[in-house]
Structure 1
């Protein structure tokens, strides 16, 4: 058989000495040993079964991870009466926006969100800067007691925040120099900003470790070239290292934002009248009774309170989810390049 150009084209039956692919496979199987044929059969069975099990496992994991979010959305848009209806599982019987509006009112959401963003973004920004400088120092410079100081950084990761909570409260209660001046910083944002500025904020030990790992992985020749051109250590860090560490900066910034966003311990320790979303969510029961029912002693069935709590949780995590969706690509790339997988 020839094509339009006159070239000879073999038919499928002529390939392999005139055998079809199935016949050729059967012939090859006959020339194999019993052990080889058993291996081929087992491999064929596994190739057919494994995709099914993989789908089941991934679907199950996805459902377990997404279940809380699905339940939050379902409860947010249903009436309280639906919580006592055993026939209502996922889809609300009475769709309503009243629960969401009441939760927004009870949490004073927009003012609380503004306070949280000012505290969160600001602390995260200065903490990333301070931790990057510290991590760069541990990665590139040699100085006395370097090993001891880095051991203290590791201790910052291991020691729980409850251990240092009381000393920090005492320090911020009378901050200053005894005999000269002291100020009370409790219930001000300085209680969160000062540790962040000095690379002692929330989870700062882990951030220093990430930066150290990343800067150690960059070629030393980059700094040598900058030194030859007349740059000092600080100018080299700003002009050379920071542009090459964009993925690490983004990764650490996102980590910091999430940790400050979810922080309740330090917020409840240092703040009295300053409300963040985490603090407001924890005190949502009391706020609901006061703002909606004008009484802190009113009795509400625990099952009916779930709709407000789930609505509050959904409102609290929505900004973080939006940020993650927008920056997911860069976040994943940053984790892969920052060296965190090799720690």
Structure 2
């Protein structure tokens, strides 16, 4: 009798234990409550690490000096204070500097993407002597720091008379030696390698030449590679301050370059507040927000194509 009751009790408890196990761990161990709680908690933590600097900058950029000095005001300012952005707008000379930044960033990025597509297609589809050696040499340029070649390039560009102009960025991009061009050549090489040769062979049977095949078949199908290469190239040219300061001098400027000398420019523009303590954290953060805001807008607009390009090309960014 006792064994019968024990067996029935186990049978009555078993369905509840199974249901609780499924709810907690899931059927396959990756769709239960605990698993999702761990994954979502991890994603929220990683997201907070990335978003914290943006939240900090935005919060401080909207604070007045009284809010900054008040220990009771932490994240939310007591009022919406926009004078910091007005001062940063004047110091950065925002609109002219933004247009100049787009000028020296977008054009080299477009040229670099186009040239790398041609080079990648050539390595992927044609056989020629020393092909592998040349491909290795092209890829090896990625591991060479730009500081190593900056002096000979500066001397060479000075002899050509292209210092202080966009040509100092445009000339290397035209020759496949722009900023991290080797990565984009590898991207296009891998993508064109995956395209079926039957499409090109069918086009050749119809009388199409190599250029027509490239522009009408290969290039339209390489949309994800084009998107990912252009966006990465645009970001790297935008953030480049070392080479830009050397090659451009005082002839051209960019928002990141203006941000580097933000404090000095502020002291020159407002000499009555020339003491370094007078430029508060809020004005500095406003200048930083205005510098990165165009890139955030570009990412928000192109986010769908960017994610699709990374997913389809299988490339992880830096």
Between 1:40-49 and 1:99-108, the stretch displaced more is 40-49
2:255 pairs with one of 277, 285, 289: 277
**Match runs of 1:125-144 below 5 Å:** 125-144=110-129
In 1: Cα distance, 2:55 partner to 2:191 partner: 37
8 Å Cα contact 1:106/1:284 also seen in 2: yes
> Does the residue aligned with 1:340 lie in a helix, a strand or coil?
coil
Structure with higher Rg: it is 1
* 2:4 alignment partner in structure 1: none
Structure 1 residue 222 corresponds to structure 2 residue 199: yes
Instruction: Decide which of 49, 53, 56 is 1:68's aligned counterpart.
Output: 53
Query: Is residue 301 of structure 2 the alignment partner of residue 326 of structure 1?
Result: yes
The alpha carbon displacement at 1:147 in A equals: 1.2
Counterpart of 2:228 in structure 1 is 251
Structure 1 residue 39 displacement after superposition: 9.3
After superposition, the C-alpha distances for 1:45-72 in whole angstroms (9 at most, x for unaligned) are 4333233223322221111111111111
Q: Shift in Å at residue 43 of structure 1?
A: 5.9
From 231, 234, 239, the counterpart of 2:211? 234
Aligned to 1:50: 35
**Counterpart check, 1:300 vs 2:244:** no
2:284 match: secondary structure: helix
**2:128 match: secondary structure:** coil
Question: Residue 3 of structure 2 corresponds to which residue in structure 1?
Answer: none
Q: Which runs of 5+ in 1 are unaligned?
A: 1-22, 31-36, 176-183
Equivalent in the alignment of 2:5: none
1:123 is aligned, of 100, 108, 114, to 108
Is residue 97 of structure 1 aligned with residue 74 of structure 2? no
- Maintained 8 Å contact 1:125/1:253: yes
User: 1:115, 1:276 within 8 Å by CA — same for their partners in 2?
Assistant: yes
Aligned residues: 302
Distance 1:305 1:172 in 2: 40
**CA contact 1:82–1:93 (8 Å) conserved in 2:** yes
Matched residues in 2 for 1:338 and 1:58: separation?
24
Which one of the candidate residues 162, 186, 205 is aligned to 1:209? 186
- Separation of aligned partners in 2, 1:204 and 1:305: 40
Residue 105 (structure 2) pairs with residue 159 (structure 1): no
- Runs of 5+ consecutive residues of structure 2 not aligned to the other structure: 1-7, 26-31
What is the alpha-carbon distance in structure 2 between the residues aligned to residue 244 and residue 311 of structure 1? 42
Contact 1:135 1:208 in 2 (8 A): yes
Q: Using the TM superposition, give the Cα deviation of residue 197 of structure 1 relative to its aligned residue in structure 2, in angstroms.
A: 1.3
TM-score (norm 1): 0.82
* TM-score when normalising by structure 2: 0.88
Residue 238 of structure 2 corresponds to which residue in structure 1?
261
Please identify which structure carries the higher helix content: 2
Question: For the residues of structure 2 that align with 1:40 and 1:160, how far apart are their CA atoms?
Answer: 58
Q: CA RMSD in A?
A: 2.4
How far has the Cα of 1:240 moved from its partner? 1.1
8 Å Cα contact 1:112/1:276 also seen in 2 = yes
SS of residue in 2 equivalent to 1:122: helix
1:108 equivalent in alignment to 2:84: no
Separation (CA, whole Å) in 1 of partners of 2:138 and 2:73: 51
CA–CA distance in 2 between the matches of 1:92 and 1:156? 49
Contact 1:106–1:291 (CA under 8 A) maintained in structure 2: yes
Tell me which residue corresponds to 2:135.
Answer: 150
3-state SS of the aligned residue for 2:51? helix
Deviations 1:12-56 (A, max 9, x none): xxxxxxxxxxx9x946949xxxxxx99997665433323322332
